[in-house]
Amino acid sequence: MNRNLWLLAICQGLFLTNNVTFIAINGLVGLALAPLGWMATLPVMGYVVGGALSTGLVARTQKRFGRKASFQLGLGVAVLSALLCCYAAYSRNFWLLVAATVVAGYYNANAQLYRFAAAELALPAFREKAVSLVMAGGLIGAIAGPNLAAGTRTLTAVPFAGAYLALAGVALMAMALLAWIHFPPTPPQQAASGGRPLGQIMRQPVFIVAAAAGALGFGVMNLLMAATPIAMQVCGLPFSDAALVLEWHVIGMFAPGFFTGHLIKRFGTLPIMAIGLALNVACVLIALSGVELHQFLAALFLLGVGWNFLFTGATTLALTAYRPEEKDKAQGALNFCVFAVLALSSLASGVLVTTQGWTLLNLGSLLPLGLTGAALAWLALQRRRQPAP
């Protein structure tokens, strides 16, 4: 594993610091500022809606300017949006907060490509491990995000405004690190060729399942994670407990990254994704068993590990669905699917937890998990029917 991969893993960690802090505080700031309670997670939704709206633009900037310049542009947007969020908190302007998180979605869409860029920094035989290693960089966010939110909560007279200022500094730090990463240039013949039409790429069974599993797995994770701080507050648990639960959740999301690539290499992509699905179901069962701290903690930790297996597997699976010259449009389409489901789950999270409660929220998450299981079984059956080469 070369220096570029380690630096990219740190950038991934700083990106997740932004995401975890956003998730930890945006719902609570939204709850304090929103005209109606069910609107509390609209700032969380704005972040992913902005990501969905930005996928096409990100694909074009990646193709035109290359990985490094496009990633740096995303970090510049991260600085601007964090400062806008801070001003919205100071001015108690709920709709400005939502708009700022929509702008921040460009950074989200850009940095979601770090995992694909990792595969380009390694030899083909080590792609799974490279993707997994960069995903493991999210451990930085697991530790830094909740502690940053808790430590800066009362830094200023306005709750959490200091956290937004700190996130601007985190983005500037990532810009400095990214300057040291060397991304391989795109060969001229690949840049000139657009490859197959996007519709043809998306009709492949492997693409359909990679997109469905990645989007639905991420959607369920976001549905439960975004609602957790609000649910814990309603249950009378302090914010320090919510920060602890989120910390262990994100540790579960990214600590397996040090070995998920090895497991995929040894046992195959679909079996590891199936284990991730089973862990998500176990999370729901624990969440339904009660609302004490240890139940929130265990459920969210298993949710994180299950997400890692599903999402790393879906990313690895997606690498087999497109050719090098098709990467920008294929990766853009994959990320759009993820962000579209995330936008829906972010809105549903706030609506369900504030109007229907934690129990119904968890029961509802079993539907997308069932669809994910059906997609994995369908691809396994398709592969079994194919004649041996």
**Are 275 and 309 contacting, i.e. CB atoms less than 8 angstroms apart?**
yes
Which tokens sit at 184?
């391989």
| pLDDT confidence of residue 389 | 47
**Are 350 and 227 contacting, i.e. CB atoms less than 8 angstroms apart?**
yes
Distance, in Å, from the CA atom of 82 to the CA atom of 19, rounded to the nearest integer, reads 11
| pLDDT confidence of residue 187 | 63
Better-scored residue on pLDDT, 46 or 70: 70
| pLDDT confidence of residue 222 | 85
Residue 231 has pLDDT above 60, yes or no: yes
Tens of pLDDT, residue by residue over 58-69, are: 988 998 888 999
Tens of pLDDT, residue by residue over 288-309, are: 999 899 999 999 999 999 999 9
Tens of pLDDT, residue by residue over 305-351, are: 999 999 999 999 999 999 988 988 999 899 889 888 887 887 777 67
> By percentage, how much of the chain surpasses pLDDT 70?
97
Residue 70 has pLDDT above 60, yes or no: yes
Residue 38 has pLDDT above 80, yes or no: no
Distance, in Å, from the CA atom of 248 to the CA atom of 256, rounded to the nearest integer, reads 12
Tell which residue, 3, 30, 180, has the closest CA to residue 99: 30
Range 108-122 average pLDDT: 89
Tens of pLDDT, residue by residue over 154-208, are: 778 788 888 999 999 999 999 999 999 998 876 655 555 678 999 999 999 999 9
| pLDDT confidence of residue 192 | 54
Tens of pLDDT, residue by residue over 72-87, are: 999 999 999 999 999 9
| pLDDT confidence of residue 189 | 56
Q: Give the chain's mean pLDDT.
A: 88
Tell which residue, 3, 5, 19, has the closest CA to residue 307: 19
How far is residue 167 CA from its own chain's centroid? 17
Distance, in Å, from the CA atom of 342 to the CA atom of 109, rounded to the nearest integer, reads 12
Distance, in Å, from the CA atom of 360 to the CA atom of 71, rounded to the nearest integer, reads 39
Residue 46 has pLDDT above 90, yes or no: no
| pLDDT confidence of residue 82 | 95
Better-scored residue on pLDDT, 76 or 127: 76
pTM of the model: 0.77
| pLDDT confidence of residue 226 | 78
Ordered by where they begin, the domains of the chain are 3-181+193-385 (1.20.1250.20)
Distance, in Å, from the CA atom of 63 to the CA atom of 61, rounded to the nearest integer, reads 5
